[in-house]
């Protein structure tokens, strides 16, 4: 398909539209009665089982979705000759180009195919997309601008391994000679959410937990001084190492937080201690050195690593290795790499990320479901289906991702970032407005928490497709004598029950047979026919965590491929940041110089004026006794000093 053709203009899309008119009349009760259909919708790979039989789809639906995928993957035909060779007959496309037949067509992801790494796939930012190179084997070849980037990746990994081992074994100590046992990782967006998810999931893994004995890892992202206070509470500068994560070393929130922690360290240990207590993940060595960090203690990552795909770079690997050791983190990288290989070598019908991506397109662009939710046994992840980012449409698509694993509660937050920033687009990669829905709002909660909060909406309110994610073996098994089942079995009982409740529902006739009072029948009726899919992992260790993350990364890329959008830029975040700069300047001018609020619309002017009036319009830094007298145990400074003053005066003086 030519890049100028929208996917909705193709014959496979039109075929699906026609097919949808038939499918929408069919209830999941009927679909689930077909055993052969259900068997065809269970896929196993490397300890992971996907069951998507509770989707409102038939084998015929899937064939049509494969055809749709083939059409848009043709847009990336120049990749195929560099993919793994498959023993399948080729066919001639409409362009006259040879393409592997659909049954053996290799699923392609932006960032997964070797040749892709040489292309500026992120065309609007003129960048390559190579995040899979971050977890590639040492002997792999992945090129960008004619250079194999894998050796550079491993040079950084080796440096992280050496540094983290020295910190952990005490050969690198702080300014007072004490071991650095506590780490604060300062970053935002991808520098925070991905690493936080992996860290939280590893905390209760027996192997990883043992490796982390006596150590603490905390993440600071939000610029709110309360978050700074929470992060340093109970910590001492002399045993704390701060990792500042910013590619350019100019990210406003990150650098303000970094300067705040630098002040905390300097006040207690002196300015010279910064070199021993702060390291950087950045490409801007000039600003790193100017900040006071030794450039030798800066860990590189590259322009071809998007923030939301950066957890496998030094962004995540450094703080995680400091906490758990490089050996554990290496298993995480290997898990992600295994899914990379699976993604571009498995046929569509056996390919986990491709199946997830196609089903998501089916639910969003054809059924128009309002949300998607995720139910995790290790955590609940909700994915409010799909957000339509077109101002002329007052619709929202939401999806839910439920994880039944309490240890993984940040997974929904990490994946919603990857998904919503990647596919929250309203135009094609060529800049054409899209006449169909794309993007999805992700949300989730761990374990049975969601059942006691928002499941009411999912069961009897809006239809929200759900992802249920569970594990066979608990990280922390508990067996209580006399209980009917153990704790994990209790959790998993809900994992297995909820998809059926959503699919089958409960009819008025069934309620009447149970002698439910007539006036309550309508209230207790469940319509059912609410789609979901289930992912069952054999365990939840570092390897499986890497696999889970990579599955959802590639799922997002599949969606973007089908919709014909650029899943790797994020222009939507820029306008608000730009306007915040104007507000920041106004706050500084009002607080320091007493200038009135000017240059904003009525609403913003009113709210800003109110804000300044209530908290005190003008204050010279230093007028508060707290501004010049604080210690590691007295953090009220961070509540009292204005952000603007911190930015413009104190911390840079």
Give the largest CA-CA distance in the chain.
78
| Digit-coded pLDDT (tens) for 280-292 | 999 899 999 999 9
Tally of CB atoms within 10 A around 88: 14
The pLDDT confidence band at residue 637, using thresholds 50, 70 and 90, is very low
Degrees to nearest 5, angle at CA 637 with 632 and 639: 120
User: Residue 488 is encoded by which pair of tokens?
Assistant: 């994990």
> What DSSP character marks residue 122?
B
Contact by Cβ (8 Å): 476, 377:
no
Better-predicted residue by pLDDT, 226 or 451: 226
- Give which of 366, 349, 382, 335 is closest to 50, Cα–Cα: 349
Of the residues 24, 210, 523, 577, which is catalytic? 577
277 is catalytic: no
Distance of alpha carbon 245 from alpha carbon 302, whole angstroms: 13
Per-residue confidence (pLDDT) for residue 512, from 0 to 100:
95
Under 8 Å between Cβ of 477 and 486: yes
> How many other β-carbons are positioned within 10 Å of the β-carbon of residue 71?
20
Active-site position among 74, 118, 253, 421:
421
Q: Which residues contact 569 (CB under 8 A, 6 or more apart)?
A: 122, 124, 125
Stretch 489-510: mean pLDDT, rounded?
93
Give catalytic status of residue 421 as yes or no: yes
Q: Are 374 and 403 in contact (CB under 8 A)?
A: yes
Q: Region 491-496: what's the mean pLDDT? A: 90
- Alpha carbons 140 and 149: distance in angstroms, whole number: 9
Phi and psi at residue 122, to the nearest 5°: -80, 80
Under DSSP, the state recorded for 98 is: E
pLDDT value at residue 635: 40
Give CA–CA dist 275/180, Å, rounded.
13
Nearest CA-CA partner of 642 in 625, 619, 623: 619
Mean pLDDT of 522-542: 95
- pLDDT score, position 376: 57
pLDDT interval class at 652 (50, 70, 90): very low
Count of all residues that appear for the chain in the document? 653
Is 425 a known active-site residue? no
CA distances from 169 to 26, 165, 179, 374 (A): 62, 6, 8, 40
How crowded is residue 443: how many other Cβ atoms within 10 Å of its Cβ? 27
Dihedral sign (CA 400, 401, 407, 408): negative
* Cα separations in angstroms, 309 against 43, 86, 332: 26, 28, 14
Residue 387 near residue 442 (C-beta atoms within 8 A)? no
Residues 243, 154: Cα–Cα separation, whole Å: 20
Measured CA to CA, the distance from residue 140 to residue 191 in angstroms comes to 26
399 is written with which tokens? 């999806």
Backbone angles phi, psi at 252, to 5 degrees: -55, -55
Provide the percentage of residues in the chain whose pLDDT is more than 90.
Answer: 59
pTM equals 0.84
How far CA 196 is from CA of 410, 532, 653, in Å, comes to 7, 27, 32
SS3 637: helix
Question: pLDDT at residue 426 above 50?
Answer: yes
Pairing of strands 298-299, 278-281: parallel
Do 350 and 86 form a contact (C-beta atoms < 8 A)?
Answer: no
Average pLDDT, the chain: 83
Q: From the CB of residue 102, how many other CB atoms can be counted at a distance below 10 Å?
A: 17
Question: Alpha-carbon distance 98 to 92, whole Å?
Answer: 5
pLDDT of residue 3: 53
- As beta bridge partners, residue 100 has 90
Residues 194, 513: Cα–Cα separation, whole Å: 50
Burial class (CB in 10 A: 0-12, 13-18, 19+), 128: buried
pLDDT digits (tens, 9 = 90+) for 454-482: 778 888 888 899 999 999 998 888 888 88
Render pLDDT for 362-392 as a digit per residue (tens, 0 to 9): 999 999 886 556 655 443 333 333 222 222 2
CB within 8 A of 227, min separation 6: which ones?
220, 221, 257
Of the candidates 25, 39, 452, 593, the residue annotated as catalytic is 452
Distance CA 21, CA 15 (A): 10
> Does residue 409 surpass a pLDDT of 70?
no
Indicate if the pLDDT at residue 256 is higher than 50.
yes
410 versus 634: the higher-pLDDT residue is 410
460 versus 605: the higher-pLDDT residue is 605
Domain architecture of the chain: domains with CATH? 41-57+349-563 (3.40.50.10490), 151-338 (3.40.50.10490), 573-652 (no CATH)
Kindly compute the dihedral angle of the four CA atoms of residues 123, 126, 132, 133, in this order, to the nearest 10 degrees.
Answer: 150
Rounded alpha-carbon distances, angstroms, from residue 13 to 59, 67, 426, 458, 564: 16, 9, 18, 28, 13
Strands (E), 76-223: 90-92, 98-100, 143-144, 147-148, 182-186, 216-220
DSSP state of 192: T
């Amino acid at each position: 398909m030519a890049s100028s053709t929208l996917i909705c203009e193709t014959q496979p899309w039109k075929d699906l539209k026609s097919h949808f008119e038939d499918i929408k009349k069919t209830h999941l009760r009927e679909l689930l009665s077909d055993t052969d259909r259900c068997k065809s919708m269970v896929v196993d790979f490397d300890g992971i089982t996907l069951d998507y039989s509770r989707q409102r789809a038939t084998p015929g639906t899937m064939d049509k979705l494969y055809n749709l995928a083939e059409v848009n993957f043709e847009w990336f035909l120049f990749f195929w000759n560099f993919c793994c060779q498959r023993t399948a007959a080729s066919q001639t496309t409409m362009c006259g180009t040879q393409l592997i037949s659909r049954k053996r067509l290799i699923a392609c992801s932006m960032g997964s195919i070797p040749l892709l790494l040489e292309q500026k796939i992120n065309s609007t930012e003129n960048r390559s997309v190579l995040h899979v190179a971050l977890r590639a084997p040492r002997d792999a070849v992945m090129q960008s601008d004619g250079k194999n980037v894998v050796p550079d990746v491993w040079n950084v990994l080796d440096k992280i391994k050496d540094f983290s081992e020295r910190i952990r074994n005490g050969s690198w100590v702080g300014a007072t000679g004490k071991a650095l046992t506590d780490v604060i990782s300062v970053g935002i967006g991808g520098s925070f959410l991905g690493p936080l998810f992996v860290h939280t999931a590893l905390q209760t893994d027996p192997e990883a937990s043992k490796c982390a004995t006596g150590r603490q890892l905390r993440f600071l992202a939000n610029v709110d001084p309360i978050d700074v206070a929470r992060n340093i509470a109970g910590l001492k500068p002399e045993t704390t190492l701060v990792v500042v994560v910013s590619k350019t070393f100019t990210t406003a929130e990150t650098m303000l937080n970094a300067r705040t922690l630098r002040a905390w360290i300097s006040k207690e240990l002196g300015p010279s201690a910064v070199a021993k207590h702060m390291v950087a993940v950045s490409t801007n060595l000039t600003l790193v050195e100017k900040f006071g960090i030794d450039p030798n203690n800066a860990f590189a990552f590259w322009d071809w690593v998007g923030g939301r795909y950066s957890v496998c770079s030094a962004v995540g690997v450094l703080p995680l290795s400091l906490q758990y050791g490089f050996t554990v983190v290496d298993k995480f990288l290997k898990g992600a790499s295994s899914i990379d290989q699976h993604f571009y070598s498995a046929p569509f019908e056996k390919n986990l990320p491709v199946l997830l991506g196609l089903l998501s397109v089916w639910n969003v662009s054809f059924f128009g479901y309002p949300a998607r939710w995720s139910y995790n046994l290790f955590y609940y992840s909700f994915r409010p289906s799909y957000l339509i980012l077109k101002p002329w449409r007052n619709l929202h698509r939401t999806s839910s991702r439920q994880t039944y694993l309490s240890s993984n509660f940040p997974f929904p937050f990490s994946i919603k970032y990857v998904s919503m920033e990647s596919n929250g687009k309203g135009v094609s990669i060529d800049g054409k407005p899209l006449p169909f829905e794309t993007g999805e709002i992700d949300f989730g909660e761990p374990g049975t928490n969601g059942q006691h909060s928002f499941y009411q909406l999912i069961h009897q309110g809006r239809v929200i497709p759900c992802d249920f994610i569970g594990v066979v073996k608990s990280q922390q098994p508990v067996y209580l004598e006399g209980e009917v089942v153990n704790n994990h079995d209790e959790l998993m009982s809900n994992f297995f029950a909820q998809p059926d409740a959503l699919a089958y529902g409960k009819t008025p006739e069934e309620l009447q047979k149970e002698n439910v009072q007539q006036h309550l029948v309508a209230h207790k009726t469940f319509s059912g026919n609410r789609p979901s899919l289930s992912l069952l992992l054999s365990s939840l260790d570092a390897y499986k965590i890497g696999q889970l993350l990579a599955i959802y990364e590639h799922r997002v890329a599949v969606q973007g491929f089908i919709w014909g959008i650029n899943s790797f830029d994020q222009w939507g975040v820029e306008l608000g940041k730009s306007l915040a700069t104007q507000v920041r300047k106004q706050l500084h001018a009002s607080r320091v110089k007493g200038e009135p609020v000017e240059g904003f619309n009525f609403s913003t002017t009113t709210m800003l004026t109110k804000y300044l009036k209530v908290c005190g319009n003008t204050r010279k830094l230093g007028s508060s006794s707290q501004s010049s007298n604080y210690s590691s145990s007295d953090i009220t400074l961070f509540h009292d000093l204005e952000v603007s003053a911190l930015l413009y005066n104190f911390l840079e003086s």
